[in-house]
Chain A
């Protein structure tokens, strides 16, 4: 058996890759996918800690995170499509309407 620390290290690496993706990319679709990467890394950490402490609570939390992620993707993609209809270009740098 591999110790849980390995899973947690992998989760940290995946989360960092997701953060770098959100910072580097300009396409809102790919930023979205990077957010999914981060959510999954956090989920993996939840499951690994739950395994370590012999509790199913981590898995219950991951279940809710999955539900929220599904809702988030549905609404987020709808927003992206609406923005695309409005301006024909997809770059988050153009979307500064709500910046103070």
Chain B
């Protein structure tokens, strides 16, 4: 990915992230989030993580965004935040907090990048991640299935209507 393409997608990513945070309507925020997740998938592709790019589109844009929109449309009437904010003076502090955090993150990343660039070749796509998942990370991989099952049962239990 050349610098021009990168900057283009970076602007889209940051803009859509700002859209998520700034839009008052949750539906708009969810759609901005879909755009943001799509650009992240493009960055995965550029970094040679094809499997993750596809999984990103399938899991996030496919499942999670649909779940958000479903929850907003069907279960919760999308109400905008209209009531006056009792904590407004405190929330202004969010901007300096975010700026300080950003500076910290950039500093940490700059320190982390100072080391040697590593042995070398970028991992070869799907095969290397598959080998890792089914050898070194086999146990976490199996635990993930239990986690997903537990989440499914939990979501069913939580959203069930009480009888009587």
Give me the interface of A with B, judged by CB distance under 8 Å: 1-2, 4-10, 12-21, 23-27, 29-30, 32-34, 36-37, 40, 43-45, 47-57, 59-60, 62-64, 66-75, 77-82, 84, 90-91, 93
Q: Which residues of B contact A18 (CB under 8 A)?
A: 17, 21
Chain B minimum-CB-distance residue to A61: B137
Q: How long is the Cα–Cα vector from A33 to B33 in the complex, in angstroms? A: 7
Could you list some 17 contacts between A and B, CB below 8 A? A2-B46, A7-B43, A20-B97, A23-B94, A26-B85, A29-B71, A37-B21, A43-B40, A44-B44, A47-B47, A51-B122, A54-B119, A59-B49, A60-B133, A63-B133, A66-B59, A82-B158
Q: How long is the Cα–Cα vector from A45 to B110 in the complex, in angstroms? A: 13
Instruction: Give the secondary structure class of B's interface.
Output: helix
Complex contact B44–A47 (CB within 8 A): yes
How many Å from the CB of B124 to the closest CB on chain A?
A: 8
Q: Total contacts A to B, CB within 8 angstroms?
A: 234
* A67-B148, A70-B64 known; A16+B94 contact, CB < 8 A: no
Q: Is the C-beta of B164 less than 8 angstroms from some C-beta in chain A?
A: no
Chain A minimum-CB-distance residue to B157: A78
Q: How long is the Cα–Cα vector from A19 to B94 in the complex, in angstroms? A: 8
A17-B14, A70-B64 given. 15 additional CB < 8 A pairs?
Answer: A5-B110, A20-B98, A23-B94, A40-B36, A44-B43, A52-B118, A54-B120, A57-B132, A64-B144, A72-B151, A75-B151, A77-B67, A77-B68, A78-B159, A79-B158
Residue of A19, A53, A57, A74 with most partner-chain B CB within 10 A: A74
How many Å from the CB of A45 to the closest CB on chain B?
A: 8
How many Å from the CB of A19 to the closest CB on chain B?
A: 6
Chain B minimum-CB-distance residue to A4: B113
Contact count band on B = 35 or more
Complex contact A52–B117 (CB within 8 A): yes
Q: Which residues of A contact B105 (CB under 8 A)?
A: 12, 15-16
Residue of A47, A56, A68 with most partner-chain B CB within 10 A: A56
Complex contact A14–B17 (CB within 8 A): yes
Complex contact A33–B29 (CB within 8 A): yes
Q: How long is the Cα–Cα vector from A52 to B120 in the complex, in angstroms? A: 8
Residue of A21, A49, A63, A90 near B79 (CB, 8 A) is: A90
Complex contact B68–A29 (CB within 8 A): yes
How many Å from the CB of A78 to the closest CB on chain B?
A: 4
Complex contact B91–A21 (CB within 8 A): no
Complex contact B106–A9 (CB within 8 A): yes
Complex contact A17–B109 (CB within 8 A): no
